[in-house]
Amino acid sequence: MNNAARFLQIHLLTAYGPANLNRDDLGQPKTAVLGNAQRLRISSQSLKRSWRTSEVFQTALGDKHLGLRSKRIGERAEKIMVDAGVEKKKAFEWSKLIAQAFGKLKDEDKKIGNQVETLVFASADELQAVDALALTLAQSQTEPTSEQLKLLRKSNSSADLALFGRMLTAEKGKAETNDRPQFNVEAAAQVAHAVTVHRATIEDDYFSAVDDLNPSEDTGAGHIGELGFGSGVFYLYACVDRNLLVENLGGDKALAAKTLRALVECMCTVAPTGKQNSFASRARASFGLAELSDDQPRQLIAAFLKPVADDDQDTIAVAVARMVQLVERLDAVYDFDGRRFVFNASEQPFETKANPVEHGSVKAFCQFVASDLE
């Protein structure tokens, strides 16, 4: 195996108290059935959004290396033009042309809107181009040309776009600016839905609130309601193709390394924001295993097909022991060729017989994931 391993795999165990981190269409915590047992679930979409919009990610990478996912790029351009002195009707018409560079207009037939139909992940470079064009049009007071409307970029320096990708579908019969598959970005990161390692039950919280201005003789509630919640230890898995990440970032290995460190720090420390004010569901991972290898990636979810039993044992410690056993069995079958690093706040040590494991802090863990990239 060469020094710069292609695949980074992350395995985390995180305990959450009562919470409703990720709701379904009925407002209940999401679930999944695994090993014929109901588990609580956090969707990968929820996880990725919480990471990329977190203060940790924003601080590490800054506006220069972060894009936006929105339908409202046309509205953004319109505001810039109006603020710069363009007459509102004219700014609106020009903003529709700018929006069309990113996708089909939401109300194209009615000619009334400047939003696109679907969310578009625009890179920082593309957003800068939109802003610059809006100011140019304000100065020239002329409609944008077809050349100016080529706002999409094949290369970019946006970490979130490089990690999580985008798809821009082609529209038959449209002009060249609407033929956008060449600007698709294949995601370098794959994120699994997090599930509890044990059986989990959804409970209902019946709550009431008192009206502070109620007269003293009125003891009734001003509001009553119900809210679903659950708790448990979640197993989270993610895989990053580090070669593809570097490629998506135009060959910038230093930026790729910074992106990986920021991503993994978020995975370990950032909780989804669902119902935070109601449950204060802040948590940090108690255990993390990072693997660097050119071997074909694989989850360790098989360690939890049989739910961790509800007994007096430490759930995280049992889960760590299960992972050790599965890793050793898989190593024996597939001859793992790579490096491993563990941080562990559990009382159960993580040691494998055939392959050495490095140990350290979360800070060292985040450094390990970017090994040999810079």
Q: What is the DSSP string of 33-48?
A: EETTEEEEEE-HHHHH
Amino acid 342 reads V
Q: Whole-angstrom Cα distance, residue 60 to residue 261?
A: 9
Asked whether 330 and 336 are in contact (CB, 8 A), the reply is yes
Please report the pLDDT score of residue 176 as a whole number.
Answer: 45
- The whole-model pTM stands at 0.89
Asked whether 152 and 102 are in contact (CB, 8 A), the reply is yes
More confident residue, 360 or 279: 360
Q: Whole-angstrom Cα distance, residue 125 to residue 131?
A: 10
Mean pLDDT (whole number) for 23-28? 86
Mean pLDDT (whole number) for 357-367? 96
Mean pLDDT (whole number) for 207-214? 72
- pLDDT tens column, 95-146: 999 999 998 888 765 566 889 988 899 999 999 999 999 999 999 999 999 9
**Which of 20-29, 57-66, 269-278 has the largest mean confidence?**
57-66
* Mean pLDDT, rounded, of the chain: 90
Give me the residue label for tokens 């979640």: 234
Confidence of residue 219 (pLDDT cuts 50, 70, 90): low
Measuring CA to CA, which residue among 239, 237, 234, 238 is closest to residue 195? 234
Give me the residue label for tokens 């038959």: 172
Q: Whole-angstrom Cα distance, residue 334 to residue 264?
A: 26
Please report the pLDDT score of residue 111 as a whole number.
Answer: 62
Q: Whole-angstrom Cα distance, residue 83 to residue 254?
A: 37
Mean pLDDT (whole number) for 237-253? 97
CA dihedral 320, 326, 332, 338 (to 10 degrees): -60
CA distances from 89 to 76, 112, 337 (A): 15, 11, 63
Name the helix (H) or strand (E) containing 263: helix 253-269
Asked whether 305 and 356 are in contact (CB, 8 A), the reply is no
Phi, psi of 126 (to 5 degrees): -70, -40
Q: What is the DSSP string of 208-247?
A: EE--TT--TT--S-SEEEEEEEEEEEEEEEEEEEHHHHHH
Whether pLDDT at 265 is above 50? yes
- pLDDT tens column, 180-190: 788 999 999 99
Domain boundaries, the chain: 7-60+189-201+231-368, 68-157
Asked whether 186 and 296 are in contact (CB, 8 A), the reply is no
Whether pLDDT at 274 is above 70? yes
Mean pLDDT (whole number) for 289-299? 97
Please report the pLDDT score of residue 154 as a whole number.
Answer: 84
- pLDDT tens column, 278-293: 788 889 999 999 999 9
- pLDDT tens column, 30-85: 999 999 999 999 999 999 999 999 999 999 999 899 999 999 999 999 999 999 99
Q: Are strands 7-19 and 287-293 parallel, antiparallel or unpaired?
A: antiparallel
Instruction: Count CA atoms closer than 13 A to 134's CA, side-chain side.
Output: 29
Q: How large a percentage of the chain has pLDDT more than 90?
A: 71
Please report the pLDDT score of residue 1 as a whole number.
Answer: 39
> Two tokens at 313?
């044992």
> Two tokens at 214?
């109620």
Q: Whole-angstrom Cα distance, residue 204 to residue 147?
A: 57
Q: Are strands 223-241 and 203-209 parallel, antiparallel or unpaired?
A: antiparallel
Q: Are strands 223-241 and 194-196 parallel, antiparallel or unpaired?
A: antiparallel
Q: Whole-angstrom Cα distance, residue 3 to residue 109?
A: 55
Please report the pLDDT score of residue 225 as a whole number.
Answer: 67
Which residues share a beta bridge with 81? none
Measuring CA to CA, which residue among 299, 301, 278, 166 is closest to residue 225? 278
Q: How large a percentage of the chain has pLDDT more than 70?
A: 91
Q: Whole-angstrom Cα distance, residue 99 to residue 73?
A: 6
CA distances from 146 to 42, 102, 103, 133, 178 (A): 43, 13, 15, 12, 11
Mean pLDDT (whole number) for 154-162? 91
For helices 73-83 and 124-140, the axis angle rounded to 10 degrees is 40
Whether pLDDT at 214 is above 70? yes
Asked whether 42 and 21 are in contact (CB, 8 A), the reply is yes
Please report the pLDDT score of residue 106 as a whole number.
Answer: 82
Distance of CA 154 to the CA centre of its chain: 22
Say whether 155 sits in a helix, a strand or coil.
coil
